[in-house]
Structure 1
Amino acid sequence: MGSTAQRLDVVDALRGFAIVSIMLLHNIEHFDLYYVVPDAPAWLAALDKVVWECAFFLFGGKSYAIFALLFGLTFHLQSQARKERGEDFRARYGWRLLILFGFGMLNSMFFHGDILTIYAVLGLCLLPVARMGDGAVLALAAILMLQPYEALVLADALRHPDVKIGDPVSWRYFGRINDYLMGDSILRAWAGNLTNGKLAVIHWSWETGRVFQILSLFMLGMLAGRRGLFAAGPDTLRFWRRTLAAATLLFLPLYTIRTLLPDWVASAALRRPLATIVASWSNFAFMLVLVACFVLLYQGGAATRVLRVLAPLGRMSLTSYFTQSVIGSFIYYGFGLGLYKVTGATLCLMIGALLAALQCAFCAWWLRRHAQGPLEHLWHRATWISARQPA
């Protein structure tokens, strides 16, 4: 996910921040093995609930949105670097996405919630829009962010508000996950993750509006790269200050509506598409708040030295994302230590923070000795196989 094109330190650090927040969420979820520790003390159960709600308020649906935004930005940086050399990067980028899909399938063996395969498929949308003008790309991104499919479902529900709707399709698959993740067979866990687990995630991504949101964020990230919105300078700081103010004003009413929607709308047929649309917009707005705060703190000099610690992690985001799945599955699943049985959200948050700190230290150590992370190096070499490789 790191680029060998022009490096922007703030982007590396922001990507590192997303990796850390994903690590924390995955840990408190036991890497999607949902299990509540029985007979936990009342005070610990209450604390676990607070930790869970705070973590998902801050990062749920936002960390992957940051990843998607930076994915589109990286595409622009790589394309621009090749364009300056008189080359068209699009065919090579399609091959690069195919390799990423392979990494994603390997990652999915350990964690079915893998996002790499989804990014690899949806990333193909950047190829036809790469030559479109800024206005056209922005308009298309806005339409996708509006969740057009859910809008159609909502329009139909307005005509038939009393119709009974079934459970989301993903629930059928999620209900089977614990059967093989709690078991002691790693082969059964891998098989389940690659079949039942992948279908669960695909359906869930569609049902929650993630597909349209990711496509939109890819395009917005590409536009951010074109406009140089992460380059240091007074214009950048001014843009992110305005973004912070606007996103905050947008988030507050959206989050209020999201919270009160179950009380306001009795019809399930109406409530489900409305909840998907509002949640998508709410997460997008808060993601912009996080990104704006991060950039302002980093480029404003207030916390640059502290936040720069995350940059090596961001430069090795593919390696870091993959290894956290491998380590996390061994820690929590039945074929490993099986800690899902005894760890609530509070203890899992501590484990996640420790793992994130260790990853940061490892990435800094590795990059003092190598130009890229191990998986980044493999990805780079495979991308440019049978071609002149860029420096």
Structure 2
Amino acid sequence: MNAPSSRLDLLDALRGFAIVSIMLLHNIEHFDLYFTPQGAPAWLAAVDKVVWDSMFFLFGGKSYAIFALLFGVTFYIQFQHRAQRGEDFRPRYAWRMVLLLGFGLFNSMVYHGDILSLYAVLGLALIPVARLRSALVLVIAVILLLQPYAWLEWYMALSAPNEKLADPASWAYFGRANDYMKHGSIADVWIGNLTNGKTGVILWSWENGRLFQIPALFMLGMLAGRAGWFALSEENKRRWWRVLFLAVVAFIPLYLIKSSSGNWNVGPALERPLLIIITSWSNLAFMAILVACFSLVFYARPALAFFSPLGRMSLTSYVVQSVVGTALYYGYGLGLYQHTGATLALAVGIVLALAQRQFSVWWLRSHAQGPLEALWHRATWAGQTRRKLA
């Protein structure tokens, strides 16, 4: 990882790609305000279904995973940079996560599906593994990716596989959220998101194995950073081809198994944890396909650097899309949830992504970082001398 420009070119572009895909998903979901407009012509309803299914196939459960992987890579870069100066980055990193939690709580107030606050808390898992041998870190990451709690649920259900399960606890919170998102004032939404909504999101993340998968992806990203996987080299090109092959080989059977879950005939108590396990593995495999494909195309067509400005301003981009998107779709704003199916919402998302990219280009002409990135950086290194920051 000694070639900063080539390394960061790919990382920035890939991070920008993740931001755009997150933006598009959030738009077709109306930022978690699920609603299907009535009265659309049959052809548009059919197109909406294709758009919805395609977008979730491509990016559902994968975009956030790419973001988590790159989070780990960024941690390694910062940790290694300070280690070369004889400094331990971990105490400063812990403070950095406290600051990220602050950004995340603000974003959670606007949009309860925020991932920054989860990353801030789960990112602390990198502190105890930062100096462990790579083989041991890999073992820990694999154990987390195996979804140990879901396997425990499966084992406990063996004695009564046909027992009818209650709805996941998160559903009740999301049901209440729909009401204030549609009809509440901006204060109602902000308060509801920070209390009811955030609780629902944490429960949902637990119920779907995200609280195990996210720190595992952080660790894999750190290991990828150690191994220099995102530097532009012929060796890494061959690596990404191998990743692509293995990921495709893993994804196809996992996806077919997941798609046939209705025919498993194992009983609902066993089916739910198994579906969580298979879905998490399937999403992980497809995430690897996306990262490998993007990296390989980036080697051949640097035009993918189109995404880099958004990647350099990923924190700003992520928060701004929440502020703008919820104002567009929620009842206290323009209420577009009532009028936009998946196709129109996707078009809105594309326009917003292009506008955000253009803003990033404009801003970076005269600034080294995005506005929130600069604030985060200054607060992270508060108290350091100018000499140490040089």
CA apart distance, 1:33: 0.3
Bigger shift: residues 173-182 or 89-98 = 173-182
Q: Distance in 2 between matches of 1:14 and 1:131?
A: 26
8 Å Cα contact 1:5-1:77 kept in structure 2? no
What residue number does 1:383 align with?
380
CA apart distance, 1:111: 0.5
Task: Provide Cα deviations, 1:238-262, integer angstroms capped at 9, x if missing partner.
Answer: 1100000000010000000000012
What residue number does 1:104 align with?
104
Amino acid at match of 2:302: T
Count matched residues. 385
Amino acid at match of 1:344: G
Q: Distance in 2 between matches of 1:367 and 1:215?
A: 31
Q: Distance in 1 between matches of 2:265 and 2:24?
A: 33
Q: Distance in 2 between matches of 1:72 and 1:308?
A: 21
| RMSD, aligned α-carbons | 1.2
Q: Distance in 1 between matches of 2:26 and 2:161?
A: 36
8 Å Cα contact 2:7-2:232 kept in structure 1? no
Q: Distance in 2 between matches of 1:102 and 1:265?
A: 46
SS in 2 for 1:159: coil
8 Å Cα contact 1:5-1:78 kept in structure 2? no
What residue number does 1:368 align with?
365
Amino acid at match of 2:319: F
CA apart distance, 1:156: 1.4
CA apart distance, 1:42: 1.0
CA apart distance, 1:6: 9.4
Task: Provide Cα deviations, 1:74-116, integer angstroms capped at 9, x if missing partner.
Answer: 0000000000000000000000000000000000111000000
CA apart distance, 1:304: 1.1
Amino acid at match of 1:304: P
What residue number does 1:277 align with?
277
What residue number does 2:179 align with?
179
User: Are 2:308 and 1:311 aligned?
Assistant: yes
Bigger shift: residues 369-378 or 154-163 = 154-163
8 Å Cα contact 2:7-2:230 kept in structure 1? no
What residue number does 1:135 align with?
135
Aligned partner (choices 329, 332, 336) of residue 333 of structure 2: 336
CA apart distance, 1:165: 1.6
Distance of aligned partners of 1:327 and 1:81 in 2 relative to their CA distance in 1, 3 Å threshold: same
CA apart distance, 1:162: 2.3
Bigger shift: residues 352-361 or 260-269 = 260-269
Amino acid at match of 1:314: G
CA apart distance, 1:135: 0.4
SS in 2 for 1:8: helix
What residue number does 2:9 align with?
9
Q: Distance in 2 between matches of 1:260 and 1:390?
A: 55
SS in 2 for 1:182: helix
CA apart distance, 1:178: 1.2
What residue number does 1:249 align with?
249
CA apart distance, 1:60: 0.1
Q: Stretches of 4+ moved more than 4 A in 1?
A: 4-7
Amino acid at match of 2:389: P
SS in 2 for 1:294: helix
Aligned partner (choices 328, 347, 350) of residue 350 of structure 1: 347
Give the alignment of 1:149-188 within 5 angstroms: 149-188=149-188
Bigger shift: residues 262-271 or 334-343 = 262-271
Alignment gaps of 5+ in structure 2: none
TM-score (norm 2): 0.97
What residue number does 2:45 align with?
45
Q: Distance in 1 between matches of 2:173 and 2:90?
A: 36
SS in 1 for 2:158: helix
Task: Provide Cα deviations, 1:347-388, integer angstroms capped at 9, x if missing partner.
Answer: 000000010011111111111110000000000000001113
What residue number does 2:147 align with?
147
8 Å Cα contact 2:94-2:124 kept in structure 1? yes
Q: Distance in 2 between matches of 1:96 and 1:7?
A: 23
What residue number does 1:83 align with?
83
Q: Distance in 2 between matches of 1:264 and 1:88?
A: 51
Amino acid at match of 2:365: R
Amino acid at match of 1:390: L
Q: Distance in 1 between matches of 2:5 and 2:183?
A: 44
8 Å Cα contact 1:243-1:289 kept in structure 2? yes
CA apart distance, 1:205: 0.3
8 Å Cα contact 1:5-1:81 kept in structure 2? no
8 Å Cα contact 1:6-1:77 kept in structure 2? no
Q: Distance in 1 between matches of 2:318 and 2:174?
A: 22
8 Å Cα contact 1:184-1:336 kept in structure 2? no
Q: Distance in 1 between matches of 2:55 and 2:274?
A: 24
8 Å Cα contact 2:254-2:281 kept in structure 1? yes
Q: Distance in 1 between matches of 2:322 and 2:162?
A: 43
CA apart distance, 1:5: 11
What is the aligned-residue identity percentage?
A: 61
